[in-house]
Amino acid sequence: MMETAVTSAKPRIVVVDDDAMFRESLGLNLGESGFDVVEFPGGRPCLDYFSGGSSADAILLDWRMPGLDGLAVLKQLRERGVRVPVIFLTVLSDDIYEEAALRFGAVDFIEKSRSLAIILQRLRLITEGAKQNTPTPSPGAGSSVRRGKLELRTDIARAFYADKPVDLTMTEVNIVCALAAAIDADVSYRQIYDLARGADFIAGQGDEGYRVNVRSFIKRIRQKFRAVDAEFDGIANYPGFGYRWVDPS
């Protein structure tokens, strides 16, 4: 019988991959690391699992699978209102794939060649570290932070611009919080990257590789604000260093 709720005290991770050996190996390692693991060989049974009312704390999703590929699975999950954080595991390393994953709401994109430690780090940041990465309002500020047309509800990780909701992920809310909190100051590429990936996370493209990832995040955030206000120009780039929040004049 299919379980309809997360009843285990352990964080539950759904692993979706058509490679049975990889799936079994990863599942065993995750189980030994303190996670409750549910495995599926493809996208259809994963969608059925969530449609049946079951839940999870995170999804590790393969990109290339027969039938429904990982991106199609992610799109259908979001269309059905399933907001469980998704991490793509893939052999595809081009920026275009990472940008596509982020565009449809994935929180991370990890090459399968990366070590288990990297996967565990990301899962722990999601299942244990979300509170740690969420900016804390200053004393007396309550759970709402305002700056110009921007309102951030840190209690529910939501953003509003000109009183309209902006469909940001939790990671994107954290980035906007950091930018808005830096009054008349820039936030570096590295600081933004650490918010998204976790402090000291090692970028996969050399010492400066994280800049590509940060640009992808900022691009997506700008697009989401412009979907609400076509004239939005609130995130300015300081070339070679980072970004800052700019209030409209």
Single out the residue of 164, 153, 145 nearest to residue 225, CA to CA.
Answer: 164
pLDDT of residue 5: 42
pLDDT of residue 138: 39
Q: Mean pLDDT: which of 42-46, 207-211, 215-219 is highest?
A: 42-46
Single out the residue of 149, 63, 43 nearest to residue 106, CA to CA.
Answer: 63
Class of domain 12-128: alpha beta
Q: What average pLDDT is seen over the chain?
A: 79
Residue with the bigger pLDDT between 155 and 33: it is 33
pLDDT of residue 153: 84
pLDDT band at 7 (very low <50, low <70, confident <90, very high): very low
pLDDT of residue 239: 75
Q: What is the pTM of this model?
A: 0.54
pLDDT band at 81 (very low <50, low <70, confident <90, very high): confident
Q: Look up tokens 């269309």; give the residue.
A: 79
Q: Which CATH architecture has domain 137-245?
A: Orthogonal Bundle (1.10)
Whether 60 shows a pLDDT value over 90: the answer reads yes
Spatial distance between the Cα atoms of 116 and 114, rounded to a whole number of angstroms: 7
- The domain ranges of the chain are 12-128, 137-245
pLDDT of residue 79: 87
Q: Look up tokens 């493809």; give the residue.
A: 42
Mean pLDDT across 61-73: 89
Share of the chain above pLDDT 70, in %: 78
pLDDT band at 1 (very low <50, low <70, confident <90, very high): very low
pLDDT of residue 133: 41
Single out the residue of 242, 223, 226, 213 nearest to residue 101, CA to CA.
Answer: 213
Strands 187-188 and 58-62: unpaired
Least confident of 9-18, 93-102, 150-159: 93-102
Least confident of 52-61, 80-89, 128-137, 159-168: 128-137
Q: Mean pLDDT: which of 185-199, 206-220, 223-237 is highest?
A: 223-237
Mean pLDDT across 31-36: 92
Domains 12-128 and 137-245 share a fold: no
Single out the residue of 192, 208, 182, 88 nearest to residue 133, CA to CA.
Answer: 192
pLDDT in tens, 96-116: 666 666 666 676 777 777 778
